């Protein structure tokens, strides 16, 4: 029994995104055509979702490819934790998420709760810009790097 409205099986793939000058490679799941047609991509080109891949929780967005396909990025850390690799078949189950949801790192949450000037600047940002700053902090592997990035974000917002 699934608690999610949408589900499919697909292979973890390596997808090249970019033009001839700069190409980035991502580990992804591609959304089947029938689900592309069923989901509200006209209203939300980067549709945010919540769910699970191979029984591991995920939260993120379907991203567009120029040819109309949609992909969901699976970080290398996620693949390692789920013991998955390129070519593995997985089940993905998901629901449409709050399109403005932002997962705020605990260090930033603490600063926002004690610094009203910072909180005011934060509230003025779009949810996309908030996610950008949170990713900068959250993608750091070491605590010292997280703290440095937190300080940089605070400086940018207050500077």
Could you report the per-residue pLDDT of 37-66, keeping only the tens digit for each? 999 999 999 999 999 999 999 999 999 998
Residue 21's pLDDT band (boundaries 50, 70, 90)?
confident
79-134, pLDDT tens digit by residue? Answer: 999 999 999 999 999 999 999 999 999 999 999 999 999 999 999 999 999 999 99
| pLDDT above 70 for 1 | no
- Percentage of the chain beyond pLDDT 90 is 90
CB of 29 within 8 A of CB of 105? no
Average pLDDT over residues 7-30: 93
Residue 2's pLDDT band (boundaries 50, 70, 90)?
low
Distant-in-sequence, close-in-space partners of 123: CB < 8 Å, separation ≥ 6: none
What is the number of alpha carbons within 13 Å of residue 10 lying toward its C-beta? Answer: 21
Domain boundaries, the chain: 6-96, 106-158
Residue 86 belongs to what H/E stretch?
Answer: none
Task: Tell me the fold of 6-96.
Answer: Elongation Factor Tu (Ef-tu); domain 3 (2.40.30)
Can you say whether residue 83 is alpha, beta or left, with left for phi > 0 and alpha for psi between -120 and 50 degrees?
A: left
Average pLDDT over residues 2-31: 92
133-148, pLDDT tens digit by residue? Answer: 999 999 898 999 999 9
How far, in Å, are 15, 24, 63, 79, 131 from residue 20 at the CA level? Answer: 14, 10, 20, 28, 28
């Amino acid at each position: 029994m699934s608690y999610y409205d949408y589900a499919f099986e697909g292979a973890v793939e390596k997808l090249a995104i970019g033009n001839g000058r700069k190409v980035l490679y991502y580990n992804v799941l591609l959304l089947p055509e029938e689900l592309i047609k069923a989901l509200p991509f006209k209203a939300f080109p980067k549709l945010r979702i919540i769910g699970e891949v191979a029984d591991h929780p995920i939260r993120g967005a379907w991203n567009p490819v120029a040819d109309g396909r949609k992909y969901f990025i699976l970080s290398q850390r996620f693949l390692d934790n789920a013991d998955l690799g390129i070519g593995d078949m997985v089940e993905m189950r998901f629901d449409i998420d709050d399109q403005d949801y932002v997962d705020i790192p605990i260090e930033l949450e603490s600063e926002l709760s004690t610094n009203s000037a910072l909180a005011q600047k934060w509230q003025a940002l779009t949810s996309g810009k908030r996610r950008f700053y949170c990713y900068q902090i959250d993608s750091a592997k070491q605590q010292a790097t997280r703290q440095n990035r937190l300080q940089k974000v605070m400086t940018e917002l207050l500077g």
